[in-house]
Amino acid sequence: MLSGGERAVARCDQLGKAPYSDMAEGLFRSYLSPAYVAAQRQLSAWMEQAGMTVRIDAAGNMIGRYEGQEAGPPLVIASHLDSVRDAGRYDGPLGIMLGIECVDDLRERQVRLPFPIEVYAFGDEEGSRFPAAMLTSRAVAGSLDPAMLAIEDAAGVSLDTALKTYPLRELSSARFADARSSGILGYLEAHIEQGPALEAANLPVGVVTGIAAQLRYKFTVRGRAGHAGTNSMRLRRDALAAAAAMLLAAESLAVNHGDGVVATVGQLEVRPGAPNVVPGEVRFTLDVRAPTNDRRDAVAQEIMAAFAAVARSRDVALSREALQDLAASPCDPDWTDLLASAALDLAVPCDRLVSGAGHDAMIMAALGRTAMLFIRCDGGISHNPAEQVKADDVEDARQVMIRFIEKLGDNFRD
């Protein structure tokens, strides 16, 4: 018989291939796509088997509810169901499966807590289909800017069209904000670490103390396209050469700011994109993260100044569009201590660490206390088909989560 941890891993593996992927080879599950709908249907069955009633909210999130002794605000256990393109199988879904396993354990023991539990499968955390991340948790938290809903995917399909063609319930962008929660007891999320710290320390799990601050931009560099053979090097206004200098400046400045500060260019588009034409336009993204808002803002300002200097020196035009601004999100200190205490009770070795990756937890913090548990992943690899976890580590995480929930119930009664 499989342990709860083994079953959680097996279910993530099941969702890692057709019909739960939009790719023929590999995993890509985008928000509101056929693969997303197929995964929700399977997820609904698993939630019901664990003793939950299932609903879909106005943002297309799937929620399983396990009733408590009282009908007060629920403890929300959650993560996301969508993925990046060519993804690993555990980033997001593993946290959902562990939420289901925790409820299933309570059901088998016929335990009802003083509060309900709701397991959320958020629909859009990655922003891999529409150009706005964490749309669906923002809707639940009530922090959604309505302007964010006027967006299209790469195929030109609007969010509203995608919502209206969703088959499991009636959705529309006009009603999207109706997903807002009326209140929660708090929020718990389990997630693979997506980094190497736990593996380096030989620890199965880690208690997250907070989530790093993020800024994300899209830049456009405009120079002058021209024939590659007839344009003198000293007279060129090469947009790609200018962009390359900017990228190297961002890397250098982030390194100079020390541990915890990172700057990443993840997308680069060169136009016109011909081998015999000097590039006339380049578009690229920049993602800046740091443990605190002040450190993030300081490095971002230095990078912007460096970009402007490059643009002047190379006689190119530079424009900038802000895509995302997420403040640092500390986890609740009392719940962090309670989660660490749960691990100690079970003799599960763990450490405390900051998350460099963004999570729905930082959005849900607007509603109340948050806690996060990281799970070791092989090589620290994530957003990659090579993403792997050990079933024993996942089982440790499940046990720690259950103990945390029980301790929370004990404190609630006191």
Condensed to tens digits (0 to 9), the pLDDT of residues 162-172 reads 999 999 999 99
Q: Per-residue confidence at 414, pLDDT binned at 50, 70, 90?
A: low
**pLDDT at position 63, please?**
98
Architecture per CATH, domain 4-212+328-413, reads as 3-Layer(aba) Sandwich (3.40)
d(CA 138, CA 120): 13
Give the model's confidence band at 78: pLDDT under 50 very low, under 70 low, under 90 confident, else very high.
Answer: very high
Is 213-326 a CATH 3.30.70.360 domain?
yes
Count CA atoms within 13 Å of residue 294 on its CB side. Answer: 0
Instruction: Quote the DSSP letter at residue 270.
Output: E
Return mean pLDDT, the chain: 96
**Is position 359 annotated in a ligand binding site?**
no
Look up the pTM and report it.
Answer: 0.85
Confidence of residue 24 (pLDDT cuts 50, 70, 90): confident
Query: What pLDDT is recorded for position 327?
Result: 87
> Residue 369 pLDDT more than 70?
yes
Q: Any binding-site annotation on 67?
A: no
222 annotated to bind ligand: no
383 is an annotated ligand-binding site residue? yes
**Model confidence over 25-44: pLDDT tens digits?**
899 999 999 999 999 999 99
Q: Does 216 count as an annotated binding residue?
A: yes
Q: Which single residue is written with the structure tokens 């909210």?
A: 57
| pLDDT given at position 133 | 85
Q: Report yes or no: 36 and 80 within 8 Å, Cβ to Cβ.
A: no
pLDDT of residue 218: 96
Domain ranges of the chain: 4-212+328-413, 213-326
- Is residue 54 exposed (0-12), middle (13-18) or buried (19+ Cβ within 10 Å)? middle
The answer to whether 227 is annotated as binding is no
- Lookup: tokens for 174: 């006009």
Instruction: Give the phi and the psi of residue 278 in degrees, each rounded to 5.
Output: -65, 125
Please tell me whether residue 104 adopts helix, strand or coil conformation.
Answer: helix
Amino acid in the structure at residue 39? A
pLDDT per residue over 318-338, tens digit each? 999 998 888 889 999 999 999
Q: Is 118 marked as a binding-site residue? A: no
Percent of the chain with pLDDT over 70: 100
The tens digit of pLDDT for each residue in 105-164 reads 999 999 999 999 999 999 999 999 998 889 999 999 999 989 889 999 999 999 999 999
pLDDT of residue 383 exceeding 70, the answer is: yes
Q: Across residues 6-27, what is the average pLDDT?
A: 96
Mean of pLDDT values over 177-182: 96
| Alpha-carbon gap, residue 86 to 386, rounded angstroms | 10
